[in-house]
Amino acid sequence: MQVLVTYFSRTGHTKELAGEVARGVQEVDSVDCLLKPIAEVTKEDFLHSDGIIIGSPVYFGGMAGEMKAMLDSFVGVRPKMADKVGAAFATSGDLSGGKETTLIALLQVLLIYGMIVVGDPMDATGHYGVSCAGAPDAVTRANGAKLGKRVAELVKKLKG
Ligand SMILES: Cc1cc2nc3c(=O)[nH]c(=O)nc-3n(C[C@H](O)[C@H](O)[C@H](O)COP(=O)(O)O)c2cc1C
């Protein structure tokens, strides 16, 4: 079983949060974590992963174009993506700069890929995913790990 954690990041905030999400995945036995920037992800990575967690900076209230372009380009594998587990994370510049609209946009893509979409667990925030303004602080980093762990545990329940 494998969970792919993938992200776009220009200045490092989203990459840092991705590392914490991956740390959470790695806490779960028998589930491998593949951590990669979206530019290096292949269609095979999508196909071979049982869970996919995607993260983007907020660009003009939505996901970065680089992330959307890759998600668009993988449309050919969509028929084989059903029932994989999906989740999202995001970083913004401003507190009300569009974290939730971005998380929803990311989740919407995973939903249309046919995946089972989840938010972050109740012991994190119990909402749309993990997000922060600027670099992730200690609470956000811990919540990122909880999101990764949740997805890995669900993968194990569904596919193990
Ligand atoms: C082109 C561009 C558009 C942005 N648009 C927004 C925005 O709409 N709202 C916001 O809060 N921050 C915005 N930001 C700030 C980034 O979301 C923020 O700095 C983010 O943490 C960067 O992530 P990174 O360090 O992973 O690249 C924008 C940054 C860029 C470069």
CB 116 within 8 A of CB 159: no
Q: How far is CA 138 from CA 20, 135, 150, in A?
A: 10, 10, 18
Atom of ligand 1 nearest to the CA of 11: 25
Residue whose Cα lies nearest atom 2 of ligand 1: it is 59
Buried b (16+ CB within 10 A) or exposed e, 53-69: bbbbbbbeebbbebbbe
142 C-alpha to ligand 1 centroid (Å): 22
Q: Are strands 62-63 and 51-59 parallel, antiparallel or unpaired?
A: antiparallel
pLDDT value, residue 160: 85
97 C-alpha to ligand 1 centroid (Å): 8
pLDDT value, residue 86: 98
Token pair recorded at residue 120: 């972050």
Q: Is 26 in the pocket of ligand 1 (CB under 6 A)?
A: no
Average pLDDT, the chain: 98
CB 75 within 8 A of CB 100: no
Separation between Cα atoms, residue 56 and residue 52, nearest integer Å: 13
For the domain covering 2-159, report its CATH number: 3.40.50.360
Separation between Cα atoms, residue 140 and residue 136, nearest integer Å: 5
Residue whose Cα lies nearest atom 4 of ligand 1: it is 59
Question: What are the structural domain ranges in the chain?
Answer: 2-159
ipTM above 0.95, yes or no: yes
pLDDT digits (tens, 9 = 90+) for 60-117: 999 999 999 999 999 999 999 999 999 999 999 999 999 999 999 999 999 999 999 9
Q: Is 59 in the pocket of ligand 1 (CB under 6 A)?
A: yes
Separation between Cα atoms, residue 24 and residue 146, nearest integer Å: 6
Is residue 39 scored above 90 in pLDDT?
A: yes
Q: Is 131 in the pocket of ligand 1 (CB under 6 A)?
A: no
Closest to 70 measured CA to CA, from 59, 84, 55, 80: 55
